[in-house]
Chain A
Amino acid sequence: MSVRLSMTVNGKPVTAEVASRTLLVDFLRDQLRLTGTHIGCDTAQCGACTIHMNGRAVKCCNMLAVQAEGAKITTIEGIASSDGSMHPMQTAFRDHHGLQCGYCTPGMVMSAIDLVNNHPQPGDAEIRDGLDGNLCRCTGYHNIVKAVHVGAAAMKK
């Protein structure tokens, strides 16, 4: 069965007709070609698929596209400024080596932004707790935590 969708993705209105079983992550990646959102585990554990729906971090591999009907979706492609300059959290990840292979990184950045939106000055424990839903196999998390500290401070400005 196909369903009609309409939503806003990174500020632009999108309409489509998709099979009802289409996952949001597959809609974003395959149909909208927004491949910055990654599928890591496909079982809602690793968080590489983290995006924002109506301002809140969600794992889009564990959602049907139709669950985002009428929603405001932001992916990693949508957080930079209109002049192309990186979001302060992205800058922080780059400057503090918060990534190696980069596969978990879009999810980490999206999660971190939501964390800081809810807790503007997170401590170490709060950051590690807040990134509970994001797994990284490369870094051991240390530089990710550092990056989030710096990103949080930069977001305050």
Chain B
Amino acid sequence: MNRETAGPDRPLVLVVDDYLEAREICAEYLGFHGYRVVTAEDGLQALDKAFEVLPDVILMDLSLPELDGWAATRRLKADPRTSGIPIVALTGHAMSGERERALAAGCDDVITKPVVPKELLAEVERQLARRGEAVGDEG
């Protein structure tokens, strides 16, 4: 397992979660694997950050204060600047309807919590590969 050095050319991931520990786990793990990570605590912040940094992938918790993940996703997907950015939803529970609601809001994929860091990484890489920008750190 190699630690990648985050550089300005590395893919940028926006992690949105209202729970500090969740943000930290994601940021630390992705950072360890060579991604640049920006975080946001609520929906409004997520929009600001997204428009500001125009990340390569967004990991979006859906239960958020101020503006929930679904609304934020819809807003981002409606904007031409951000509509091309893959958004992966993080839902609390895999009950039916949750996943469908997320996809309906415009999310490109859904990951059920608890997030297994390895799976998260694989998902981010998959989304980037779809855009042709995957980070080939683990081959």
Answer whether A and B are interacting partners.
no
Residue ranges of B at the interface with A (Cβ–Cβ < 8 Å):
none
Residue ranges of A at the interface with B (Cβ–Cβ < 8 Å):
none
